[in-house]
Structure 1
Amino acid sequence: MSIGSDAGDAGTSWPRVAVFGAGAVGCHFGAKLAEAGVPVTLIARPAHVDAIRKDGLLFESGGQQRRIAISADTSPEPVRDADVVLFCVKTRDTTEGARSLVPLLKPGATVVSMQNGVDNVPKMREAGVDALGAVVYVAASMPGPGHLLHSGRGDLVVGEYGSAQAPSARAAAVSELFERAGVRCKLVADVRGELWTKLVMNCVFNAMSAVGRSRYGPLVERPDTRAVARDLVDECVSVAKAEGVPLADADTLYEAALKLGQAMAPATSSTEQDLSLGRPTEIDSLNGYVAARGEALGVATPVNRALAAMVRLLDVARR
Structure 2
Amino acid sequence: MQIAIMGAGAVGCYYGALLARAGHSITLIGRSAHVEAISRSGLILETTAGCETFDVMASQNVAALKDAELVLFCVKSSDTETAGALMAPMLAGSAVVLSLQNGVDNAERLSAIVRREVIPVVVYAAVTMAGPGHVRHHGRGELALGASPMSESLVPLFQQANIGASFAEDVTAMLWAKLVINCAWNAVSAITQQPYGALMAVGGMREVVTAVVRECQRVAQASAVTLPDDIERATLTIADSMAGQRSSTAQDLARARPSEIEHLNGFIVRQAKVHGIETPINHTLLVLVRALEQGAPSCGHSLP
Report the TM-score when normalising by structure 1: 0.89
- Within 5 Å, give how 1:80-229 maps onto structure 2: 80-127=66-113, 128-160=115-147, 168-229=148-209
Q: Is the 8 A contact 1:152 1:263 kept in 2?
A: no
- State the distance in 2 between where 1:69 and 1:264 align: 30
Report the TM-score when normalising by structure 2: 0.93
Mean Cα displacement is larger for which, 53-62 or 175-184?
Answer: 53-62
Give the letter for the 2:25 counterpart. Answer: P
Give the letter for the 1:308 counterpart. Answer: L
1:233 to 202, 207, 213: 213
- State the distance in 2 between where 1:172 and 1:221 align: 43
Listed as ranges, the gaps of 5+ residues in structure 1 are 1-14, 161-167
Give the letter for the 2:199 counterpart. Answer: L
**SS of structure 2 residue aligned to 1:103:** helix
- State the distance in 1 between where 2:207 and 2:48 align: 30
Give the letter for the 1:153 counterpart. Answer: R
Listed as ranges, the gaps of 5+ residues in structure 2 are 298-304
- State the distance in 1 between where 2:277 and 2:165 align: 34
1:36 aligns with 2:22: yes
Q: Is the 8 A contact 1:56 1:67 kept in 2?
A: yes
Give the letter for the 2:258 counterpart. Answer: P
C-alpha distance after superposition, 1:74-104 (max 9, x if no partner): 1112321111100011111101111222211
CA shift for structure 1 position 55: 1.1
Higher relative contact order (CA 8 A, sep 6+): 2
- State the distance in 2 between where 1:107 and 1:176 align: 23
**SS of structure 2 residue aligned to 1:312:** helix
- State the distance in 1 between where 2:97 and 2:247 align: 25
Partner of 1:306: 284
Q: Is the 8 A contact 1:204 1:233 kept in 2?
A: yes
Partner of 1:75: 61
Taking only the aligned residue pairs, the percentage that are identical comes to 40
**SS of structure 1 residue aligned to 2:91:** coil
C-alpha distance after superposition, 1:138-191 (max 9, x if no partner): 12221321111222221111113xxxxxxx321112222111110001211341
Give the letter for the 1:255 counterpart. Answer: R
Partner of 2:36: 50
RMSD across aligned positions (CA): 1.5
Partner of 1:292: 270
